Each structure stands twice: as structure tokens, then as C-alpha cells.
Amino acid sequence: MSEINSIISPENIVYQKTPLLTDATMHYCPGCSHGTVHKLLAEVLEDLGLQETAIGVAPVGCSVLLYNYIDIDWQEAAHGRAPAVATGIKRLLPDKVVFSYQGDGDLAAIGTAETIHACNRGENIVIIFINNGIYGMTGGQMAPTTLPGMKAATCPQGRDVSHDGMPIKISDLLAQLPGTCYVTRQAVHTPANVRKTKKALRKAFENQMANKGTSLIEVVATCNSGWKMSPVQSNQWMEENMFPMYPLGDLKDE
């Protein structure tokens, strides 16, 4: 035990909470992917020295209180309108680094028009898109990204594609637009995937600083409360069911 006490000293720290994350306890359910992505975002902003220049646009959804957790400037947007608000901020303050953080109900349902048009105009912003295939905040209703056959509060028998259509692969769609410079799909359920997502986030912010256009980072995430599974089970379920529909990797990198 004394050996362990000798290891636990400040000069031996290899990983600790970044100072950009506030001391507020996140309100997310245990194991929620949002917490991991928030942490990565804070780490990337700190690494790039953007604490004073970054402005985030928070969405409506579970991550609506994001402004409580990362110590930078924030603006709250109406549901789905984050890319439009980010467009305004970036055009007025071109020296600032602007990003939006949105879930699938926010970006792929209510805000589809804003998202597509912001990407089509090639607005110089970063869009972070958390895709867990469900409306988490309001109680697990079906989202446009819900998988065929997947059960949700508004489709208790599973999504019926003859009635509700197929899930929308919004990142594939946005990768077709000339305005986007970087579209990638990542996950945060294993250490290796977390490291890849961090690299992708860093690249997206570097693209913005180089004025390259819109960067979109989709993170395939879990909603263990909405899916009614334990955090570890839902990570496994995501690998088996979400990844075939939403394969990981870069969709566009220019």
C-alpha cells in the first residue's frame, strides 16, 4: 500500500480532469456518452488554447445545460437552430472559433433545414453531432435516426419502416455538399475510439482556423436509459446494431 501512496504524487499524473471542465456534476445518466464528448471538447479547446476565443452554441436536448460544464462563452439556441445561430456569430465575429453541439433530435429532425443550409453555404463552423438514435431528454421517443425494428416510446413494437421510413444518414447526406470540408463518424465507447474522436475534434477546429468550411463530427452514442440497458450493455448493443447502419470512419476529408 505504501508503494501506491508513493506513486500517487503530482509529478506522476498522466491523466486528470482538464481545468476547462467546471466542478459542476453533470446531470447525465451514468455512462452517458455526452459526458465523454464534453470532456474531449474541453481537452481539445485547452490543447489549442481556445478558452478565450471559442464560442459554443448549446442545443435543446439532454445537452441543453452544456454551458454549465465547459468554461468558455456560450449561446443557447432555439431547438434545432444552432447552426443558424453559429452562422450569425461567426459572420459577426470572424476571429472567434464557433461550434455547435447538437443531438440527433436537434440536428437531424427539427433542425434539418438549418443544418443542411449552413453546410451548403460552407459556413466556417464546427458542428458536433451526437447520434444515439432516440430522443433522450423527453423520454425516449423515436427519432429520424432510430434503427429499423428498434423499440422506442412512440414505436413500442419497433420502428416500422413501411410506416416511418428508413433512418436518415445525415452525415452521408452532408458529405455530398460542396460546403463541407470534413465529415467524419466516430464513437466514444472504448479508449481507442475516444482517442480517435479527440483527433477528429482537433482536426475540425484546425480546419476552422484555416478557413476551410464546415466540419461535421458525428459521434455514434448510447442512451442507456432510453434504450433500457446498462451502460456496458448499451455499448455492446451499439457495436452490434448501430455500427452496421452508421459505420465509423471519415466520409469526407478535403
Partner 1 sequence: MAKAKGAIVVDTKACKGCGVCVTACPTKVIELAAEVNGKGYHYAYMANPDSCIGCANCGIVCPDTCITVYRAKADATA
Give the footprint of partner 1 on this chain (CB under 8 A). Answer: 1, 3-4, 6-9, 11-18, 21, 25-26, 28-36, 39, 188-191, 194-195, 230-232, 235
Residue (91 or 195) nearer to partner 1, CB:
195
Contacts 24+ apart (CB under 8 A), 19-27: 19/46, 19/71, 20/45, 20/46, 20/51, 20/70, 20/71, 20/72, 21/69, 21/70, 21/71, 22/68, 22/69, 22/70, 22/71, 24/68, 24/69, 26/69, 27/65
Of the pair 13, 92, the CB lying nearest partner 1 is at 13
| C-alpha span between 239 and 241 (Å, rounded) | 6
Q: Smaller CB distance to partner 1: residue 33 or 115?
A: 33
Q: Longest C-alpha distance within the chain, in Å?
A: 64
Cβ count within 10 A of residue 198: 20
Pick 175 or 242: Cβ nearer partner 1: 242
- Closest among 93, 125, 92, 110 to 216, alpha carbons compared: 125
Q: Is 127 helix (H, G, I), strand (E, B) or coil?
A: strand
Which residue, 9 or 157, is less far from partner 1 as judged by CB? Answer: 9
Q: Are 71 and 51 in contact (CB under 8 A)?
A: yes
Q: How far is the CB of 30 from partner 1 (least distance, A)?
A: 4
What are the two backbone dihedrals, phi and then psi, of residue 152, each rounded to the nearest 5 degrees?
-145, 170
State the nearest-atom distance from the C-beta of 24 to partner 1, in Å.
10
Give least dist CB 116 to partner 1, A. 30
What is the smallest separation between the CB atom of 35 and partner 1, expressed in angstroms?
A: 3
Helix axes 112-121, 82-92, angle to 10 degrees: 30
Nearest approach, Cβ of residue 164 and partner 1 (Å): 30
CB of 237 to partner 1, least distance (A): 14
Q: Which is nearer to partner 1, 21 or 110 (CB)?
A: 21
